[in-house]
Amino acid sequence: QVQLVESGGGLVQAGGSLRLSCATSGRTFSSYVMGWFRQAPGKEREFVAGISTHGATTQYADSVKGRFTISRDNAKNTVYLQMNSLKLEDTAVYYCAARSRYYSNSYNRLSDYDYWGQGTQVTVSS
């Protein structure tokens, strides 16, 4: 029922920036913990960033901490991922996800998320 649509991916040089957006159709968007995950070729999908229902709490993977910023605008039913100082190893398909139920105060578990977007490709070149 809930639909998530990512946008903003593309090709960028190392050291550059991109901002990803995730538009959400659900009318209860403000009740969802939102997360960003990514999957590189030949690798498992991994946690990137998560944000609490009203944005008071954010969590990041160690690999992106200090470079990426997750934010949300509940009035627009949209979550964002600002990616700065991009590295070659950031190349992946990036997925937006929504968690509709409480599981824990940690946002990094894939199995806790109920809804997923189709993904958007981010490619970082040298």
Over its length of 126 residues, how does the chain's per-residue pLDDT go in tens digits?
789 999 999 999 999 999 999 999 877 888 899 999 999 999 999 999 999 999 999 999 999 999 999 999 999 999 999 999 999 999 999 999 999 888 889 999 999 999 999 999 999 999
Q: Which residues pair with 11 in a beta bridge?
A: 123
Q: Hey, what are 121's tokens?
A: 């490709």
**How do beta strands 46-51 and 115-116 pair?**
unpaired
What sign does the CA torsion over 83, 11, 37, 24 have? positive
d(CA 79, CA 3): 13
Cβ atoms of 95 and 36 within 8 Å: the answer is: yes
Residue 38 has a pLDDT of 98
The per-residue pLDDT of the chain, averaged, comes to 95
Q: Which residues pair with 82 in a beta bridge?
A: 19, 69
Tokens 């944000």 locate to 51
